[in-house]
Amino acid sequence: MKKIDLLSVLFLLPAFLFAQITIDQNDMPQEGDTIRLSNSVDVGMLNYEETGSNFNWDFSTLVPFSQTVDTFVSVSETPWLYQLVFLTSANLAQKINGYDFIPGFTITDSYEFFKNSSSDYRDVGVGITVNGAPIPNKFDSPDIIYRFPLAFGSIDSSFSSYEMDIPALGYASGWKKRTNIVDGYGSLTTPYGTFETVRVKSYIIQHDSIFLDSLGIGFPIDRTFTEYKWLGDGFGLPLCTVTDDGIAPTVTYIDSLRNLFVGVNENQLTDNALNVFPNPAHNEFSIEINSANGSDIDVKLFNSEGLKVADLYHNRHTGSLLNLKFHVSQYELKEGLYFVVVRSGVNIFTRKLIIR
């Protein structure tokens, strides 16, 4: 009898190990969380659009181009004017980096504010300090990122909007329509490990506009994109997010501290598989690729944030050595760090390139 019970338990164990998980407020970011993310791009090797029940997503070949650390604090740790606006509507704040997008203006103390509750996880506004003047902006309607519980088959939508006066500059406004579909669950493998996840697909339509007083005109920015997010138990942020705007899908995933700029198939990445020279480059640079005879070669250039800036080459190469030369002015490349990504057959190689 004991043997039968043991066999029954062993037979049922996989069902428990791989049962569908449910995401709730406890799986969102918490005060004091510091979460390291690696940034990458998809060069056509990921099956991120495929989904289903008990699905296996294998993203183990992702190459991290850069890393960031997202830090979450309590609202009481932000500037006092932000606290006055958000203390009753938010219970979490995230430090925003890279918000200095307005030429001639110094932007500091940038925070995004969230409300994590048993019903949903929502973005309620932002706070930025422009030339020393703090500007808290509570959204007219919050962006409800997730409604809980998140389980296979869940569907929801939200509409958010904001308006913001920016002293000495002008006026900004915008809106966002989000539709979420939990369209899959199963195991996700990234360079960080293998995890049980729920997959959320979000269709997003976004409109932003900034009006400059000095010019008397406004600049609208319209975006339509799809986010694919894989969430696991207790990780705070999605284990992986693919953002597809129809041009160059970008990927972020939770990771550990890594030595960057290493090719995917390291055992096949020899010293002469891919050469980029001169490096640093000024007016022009060359790319030399040693590939298998008859390989499809795809060469792309990405900036340090993982965004594609140029398609350099795409063709079938019948020889073993391919030499390519490019002029910096042809692609309007600014000074900085770039990554040359070459796909040769099933192999992916990367090299960093510095433009001076």
Check whether residue 349 and residue 249 sit in a common domain. no
Q: Which two tokens stand for residue 154?
A: 């869940």
| Per-residue confidence (pLDDT) for residue 336, from 0 to 100 | 83
Q: Does residue 7 sit within a domain?
A: no
On whether the CB atoms of residues 76 and 91 are closer than 8 A, the answer is no
| Per-residue confidence (pLDDT) for residue 356, from 0 to 100 | 86
Check whether residue 234 and residue 319 sit in a common domain. no
On whether the CB atoms of residues 251 and 325 are closer than 8 A, the answer is no
Check whether residue 104 and residue 77 sit in a common domain. yes
Q: Does residue 324 sit within a domain?
A: yes
Check whether residue 63 and residue 187 sit in a common domain. yes
| Per-residue confidence (pLDDT) for residue 1, from 0 to 100 | 38
On whether the CB atoms of residues 254 and 62 are closer than 8 A, the answer is no
User: Which domain-ending residue is among 254, 289, 307?
Assistant: 254
CATH of the domain at 321: 2.60.40.2550
Q: Does residue 13 sit within a domain?
A: no
User: Which domain-ending residue is among 198, 226, 254?
Assistant: 254
Longest Cα–Cα distance of the chain, Å, equals 85
User: Which domain-ending residue is among 191, 222, 254?
Assistant: 254
| Per-residue confidence (pLDDT) for residue 211, from 0 to 100 | 85
Give the Cα separation of 305 and 313 in Å (integer). Answer: 21
Q: Specify the number of domains making up the chain.
A: 2
Give the Cα separation of 70 and 90 in Å (integer). Answer: 18
Residue 207, beta-bridge partner list: 175, 222
| Per-residue confidence (pLDDT) for residue 13, from 0 to 100 | 43
Check whether residue 247 and residue 125 sit in a common domain. yes
| Per-residue confidence (pLDDT) for residue 8, from 0 to 100 | 43
The amino acid at residue 3 is K
Q: Which two tokens stand for residue 143?
A: 């962006």
| Per-residue confidence (pLDDT) for residue 233, from 0 to 100 | 96
| Per-residue confidence (pLDDT) for residue 270, from 0 to 100 | 42
Check whether residue 200 and residue 310 sit in a common domain. no
- Kindly report, residue by residue over 238-266, the tens digit of the pLDDT: 999 999 988 778 899 999 887 654 433 33
Check whether residue 239 and residue 323 sit in a common domain. no
Check whether residue 250 and residue 292 sit in a common domain. no
Check whether residue 224 and residue 329 sit in a common domain. no
Q: Which residue segment(s) compose the domain that 230 sits in? A: 20-254
| Per-residue confidence (pLDDT) for residue 132, from 0 to 100 | 82
Check whether residue 95 and residue 226 sit in a common domain. yes
- Give every residue of the chain whose pLDDT is below 50, as ranges: 1-17, 261-271
Residue 286, burial from CB neighbour count under 10 angstroms (0-12, 13-18, 19+) = middle
| Per-residue confidence (pLDDT) for residue 9, from 0 to 100 | 40
| Per-residue confidence (pLDDT) for residue 346, from 0 to 100 | 61
| Per-residue confidence (pLDDT) for residue 303, from 0 to 100 | 81
Q: Does residue 304 sit within a domain?
A: yes
Q: Does residue 261 sit within a domain?
A: no
Q: Does residue 28 sit within a domain?
A: yes
Check whether residue 198 and residue 133 sit in a common domain. yes
| Per-residue confidence (pLDDT) for residue 219, from 0 to 100 | 82
The amino acid at residue 286 is S
Q: Does residue 220 sit within a domain?
A: yes
Q: Which two tokens stand for residue 1?
A: 């009898």
Check whether residue 225 and residue 100 sit in a common domain. yes
Q: Which two tokens stand for residue 27?
A: 């799986």
Q: Which helix (H) or strand (E) holds 164?
A: strand 155-166
Q: Does residue 11 sit within a domain?
A: no
